[in-house]
Chains A and B, each alone.
Chain A
Amino acid sequence: MEKQSPDWTDAMNLLTAHRQSRWTVKYTADRFFRFLCLGSVIFLGAVLGAIVLFVSETGFLVFRDVSLSEFFFSPHWDPEHGKYGAAVFIAGTLYLTLVTLLITTPISICVAVFIAEIAPPWLRQWLRTLLDLLVGIPSIVYGYLGATLLIPWIREHTGAPVGDGFLAAALVLSIMILPTITRITDDALCAVPNEWREANYALGGTTFQMIVRVVLPAAKSGIAAAVILGMARAIGETMAVVMVIGNVAQWGFDLVTPSSVLTSHIVMQILNVDFQSTTNHALYMMALLLLMISISLIMLIRRLRLKGGAS
């Protein structure tokens, strides 16, 4: 309640000064925030770049001691005797992924179709929740169940003495990536406009015709993205695989012979090698291969998504 009687211009000056300072503060904060965001992006980029750079720098050292053709095409991995062929692991990774997808893709699509098109709404909600829960289960749990339940079962039913191998790994991986593929396929199916379904019925088509002729083709790029995402997870999976694959550097195309893939081989060996040894460099090269495979898969997904447009 103090009484002051400053003159009018003074008051105006004060007010503008006050305003100006407020504006400056606001803009400084603005600018600061911009730099913070930009800095975060640069940080992320630098980290990613550093990973690729470091892994490839160490990885390419392997070719000082091992020829390109030996590393990629020789199946003999025996570092003690100077043999560094990684063909078993590379082919193993591709083969395991293929078998996994052959098992899991049809099942996933059927489950997704059931959820999106057939199931009553209450069941639909339950199933979606269930699948979301399954996505969150750590892979070591799947691996442990595979090692304790699945392998004795395989041994009993195939007569294989060990039971570890691509069959066990592919089954574990299939169960693991099934919820991922199903949920994304489900989303893709739901993105198909309802009018199209109604048009099918208006033309006298059955539900089966609607699903096979209308919905699935319309959602095809979304489904492809789902499968590739599942594939990326399967290729990179380590813990679940190392527990059931047997970890032997030999071909395992008959599905029940213990074999090895890139991820499981790296995790088996990486702690037990000398930093400066060719073995270590070879392991880094394998890591680089994995990195390249998953990067190209992600790029493929982006391209599919762009092409697919709405879905």
Chain B
Amino acid sequence: MKRTTLWKRMAAAVLSSALLIGAAFTTQYRADAAEVSGKIVVAGSTALLPLTQQAAKEFKKHHPKVKIVVSGSSSIAGPQSVAKGVATIGACDWDATRAVGGFPAYKGLKAYKIAKIPFAVIVNKNNAVNNLSVQQIQDIYEGKITNWKQVGGKDEEIVVINRAKGSGTRVNFEDKIMDGHAIKTSGDNYKEVQKSGDMVNAVSSNPNAIGFVDLAYVKGGIKAVSINGVKATTANAASGKYVFYGYGYLLTKGEAKGADKAFINYILSQKFQHGSLKKLKFIPVK
């Protein structure tokens, strides 16, 4: 008998304290809760994923009533999932409301430019070449220049590495560097890789390779070459002197509303643009 009362007492104590804590939390939530609520689903680009994830983390603190799910698969998945209604916000490495890189223009979507992304043309760390002109890079990728000797390096055949068709980085490379010149996608000195990480591995393991990747990936066995004599740095990309950069976009179906709008506004706020965004090696657009 004694034992049961003890149990009952303990249970009562636990229950009441739980209630108390719960009540405390509810009041706190109520005090903090902003007017926005709802569910945000972000899908698309993996390059922008660190950015959207960080933004979601911070945004949740300010708007606890909003549920945010962030995922990343590929750039084209962004506008596609928004158009299909699977996601409310699509992240994409290019402005998908225009026809870019062989993809159709997505009508009815609204694009918000959220960050500038610097890219780099990379070579193996032991490569003597430190600078290439846009013309030279074009010629290498078109297959007109095939030996490092022709651009001031060793007498070795150039190994050209490309990303898979439709990769956001490749779309930007074709847009900013190739400028309408077609990449030669065949030959025994050419290969394609799936992801940015694979690109880094491929170039760091082959002394004669050339490739391209987000500037944030440049470390270890690879180095970024200067383009037209301008060093690949975020500062140079921010000022526009360095030409190999792109923009990251968030897309919504029509004008952004409610929670989506609040989320995009948060990313575009001075605090986020010059705080977390910069820390993640993106360049503020505001």
- With A164-B191, A242-B194, A272-B165 known to touch, is A248 a contact of B76 (CB < 8 Å)? no
Give the dominant DSSP class at B's interface: loop
A274 close to B80 (CB less than 8 A) = yes
A269 close to B164 (CB less than 8 A) = yes
Q: Does B201 contact A (CB under 8 A)?
A: yes
A144 (CB) vs chain B CBs: closest residue: B201
Q: Does A41 contact B (CB under 8 A)?
A: no
A272 close to B74 (CB less than 8 A) = yes
Q: Which of B80, B185, B198, B205 contacts A248 (CB 8 A)?
A: B185
Q: Does B100 contact A (CB under 8 A)?
A: no
Query: 0/1 per residue, A127-164, Cβ < 8 Å to B?
Result: 00000000000000000000110011001000011111
Q: Does B192 contact A (CB under 8 A)?
A: yes
Q: Which of A79, A148, A162 contacts B188 (CB 8 A)?
A: A162
B164 close to A272 (CB less than 8 A) = yes
- In the complex, what residues of B have CB within 8 A of residue A79's CB? 102, 165
Shortest B167–chain A CB gap in Å is 6
A258 (CB) vs chain B CBs: closest residue: B191
Query: 0/1 per residue, B97-113, Cβ < 8 Å to A?
Result: 00000111000000000
- In the complex, what residues of B have CB within 8 A of residue A273's CB? 76, 166
B158 (CB) vs chain A CBs: closest residue: A161
Q: How far is A78 from B102 in the complex, measured between Cα atoms in Å?
A: 11
Shortest B170–chain A CB gap in Å is 9
Q: Which of B76, B77, B192, B206 contacts A155 (CB 8 A)?
A: B206
B166 close to A246 (CB less than 8 A) = no
Q: Which of A147, A155, A248 contacts B186 (CB 8 A)?
A: A248
Which residues A252-311 have CB closer than 8 A to chain B?
A: 256-258, 267-269, 271-275
**What total of chain A residues lie within 8 Å of the partner, measured CB to CB?**
31
Q: How far is A267 from B73 in the complex, measured between Cα atoms in Å?
A: 12
A162 close to B76 (CB less than 8 A) = no
A271 close to B77 (CB less than 8 A) = yes
Q: How far is A163 from B104 in the complex, measured between Cα atoms in Å?
A: 36
Q: How far is A80 from B166 in the complex, measured between Cα atoms in Å?
A: 11
A267 close to B166 (CB less than 8 A) = no
A272 close to B167 (CB less than 8 A) = yes
- With A247-B191, A274-B76 known to touch, is A161 a contact of B186 (CB < 8 Å)? no
- In the complex, what residues of B have CB within 8 A of residue A249's CB? 185-186
Q: Does A56 contact B (CB under 8 A)?
A: no
A271 close to B73 (CB less than 8 A) = yes
Q: Does B190 contact A (CB under 8 A)?
A: yes
A248 close to B166 (CB less than 8 A) = no
Shortest A156–chain B CB gap in Å is 11
- In the complex, what residues of A have CB within 8 A of residue B206's CB? 152, 155, 162-163
- In the complex, what residues of A have CB within 8 A of residue B192's CB? 246-248, 258, 268
Q: How far is A243 from B192 in the complex, measured between Cα atoms in Å?
A: 10
29 contacts between A and B (CB under 8 A): A79-B102, A79-B165, A80-B165, A147-B205, A148-B205, A151-B205, A152-B205, A152-B206, A155-B206, A161-B188, A162-B159, A162-B189, A163-B206, A242-B194, A246-B192, A247-B193, A250-B187, A257-B188, A258-B188, A258-B190, A267-B194, A268-B192, A268-B194, A269-B165, A271-B76, A271-B77, A272-B74, A272-B76, A275-B80
Taking beta carbons and an 8 Å cutoff, which residues of A are in contact with B? 78-80, 147-148, 151-152, 155, 160-164, 242-243, 246-250, 256-258, 267-269, 271-275
